[in-house]
Amino acid sequence: MLTLDVFSCNYWNDHLPGHCLEYRPIFTMGLTKDALPAHYGLNFTKTFHSKIPANIEPSSVTLPRPFVVFVTGVGKGLGYHISLAFACAGCSGIAISSRTESDLNALDSALKQAKVLKVVCGVQSSSSVSNLEYLVRSLWGRVDVVIANAGVVSAYIEPTTASPSNLPQGLRVMDINLNGVWRVSRAFIPLLSESRDGLQTLISSGSMVACSVSSQLTPVAYNVSKMAVMQLMECVAIDHGADGVQAFALYPGAVMTPQTRNHAANEWSEILDDDEGLAGAFCVWLSRKKRSWLSGRCVSCNWDVEELEMMKAKILEGDLLKYSSSSSSSSSSSID
């Protein structure tokens, strides 16, 4: 019998009604942040932030120069605000990609502080992602931070409507959320490795629901894609750490974005109340210096960064913030 450590896939759904593979959300269960199991890690630090705390406010940061950032999925929501955060912190260059040109133009007009490369690109295309890397390399010859933010979640599906016709939605979620991150990582890791005088940081968008094996909250495909991305970041950290690359899976908070609104309408308005700029501010803090002790781990923008740094020894000693299994509470080993 396996028992799982912090950020484990415990069986929350044991206490929930039956569910289908496609999706049945818990709109009627009075969901609150406090109701989430402890192993989700939401309250890993004692202090929980829903707004940007003063100590990670991007406008108070002075990034080294040159400092080049690449962000995917910037059209709306988190990617848009992550880009703004790095521009506010003084990055010298920023490459932005989205599937929609009008969204890129809107963000470009707001990024007045940095040189901008905007490219229409979907992460489902390996050739498009590779071309984007070529453009970044040609323009700047370096990249300091790559943020694989592009992602989707399927709309609400009633159990009675789950059928083979819903399969394309699940496959699309997996292809963008997981394969898209893999394509971006594969294309940009060589340039990150070569940028040895920079921060060499790869950040992917994770989710607390990676800890869930239930479709009661979000679709199975979404949960699995986010769990796999977290494992991918650990692999990147191990395989490319010797070259200076650091990789993180970021929980970007509970934010009402166009994606989540399309997914659950206003049903989650009470819990999706985090500041939409919080994830961007945390990304700036995370990548403004080397944090090799956190590399390969899951982090949340809701955590207090000073408390997190004080927990460094505990995290390293217990090898926390990674998926692991154990046969007892006193020993653990990575899942192969």
Exposed e or buried b per residue across 161-198, where buried means at least 16 C-beta atoms within 10 angstroms of its C-beta: ebeeebeebbeebbbbbbbbbbbbbebbbebbebbeeb
Is 121 contained in some domain? Answer: yes
| Per-residue model confidence as pLDDT tens digits over 267-283 | 555 667 788 999 999 99
Whichever domain contains 261, its CATH number is: 3.40.50.720
Residue 114 domain boundaries: 53-153+169-304
Q: Is residue 147 part of a domain?
A: yes
Q: Is residue 70 part of a domain?
A: yes
**Ramachandran category for residue 223: left, alpha or beta (phi over 0 → left; psi -120 to 50 → alpha):** alpha
Query: Is there a domain that residue 328 lies in?
Result: no
pLDDT tens column, 65-79: 999 999 999 988 899
CA atoms within 13 A on the CB side of 109: 5
- Residues 161, 159: Cα–Cα separation, whole Å: 5
Q: What percent of the chain has pLDDT over 70?
A: 72
Residue 145 domain-assigned (yes or no) = yes
CA separation for the pair 249, 225 (Å, rounded) = 12
Q: Would residue 116 count as lying in a domain?
A: yes
Q: What is the mean pLDDT of the chain?
A: 82
Give the span between the Cα atoms of 89 and 68, in whole angstroms.
Answer: 12
18 within some domain: no
Sign of the dihedral through C-alpha 132, 133, 136, 139: negative
Per-residue pLDDT of 150-208, as tens digits, reads 988 766 555 545 555 566 788 998 999 999 999 999 999 999 999 999 999 999 988 77
Q: Is the pLDDT of residue 3 over 50?
A: no
The domain tally of the chain equals: 1
Q: State the Cα–Cα distance between residues 305 and 196, nearest whole angstrom.
A: 25
Per DSSP, helices labelled H in the chain are 77-88, 101-110, 126-140, 167-174, 180-194, 220-240, 258-264, 278-287, 305-310, 312-318
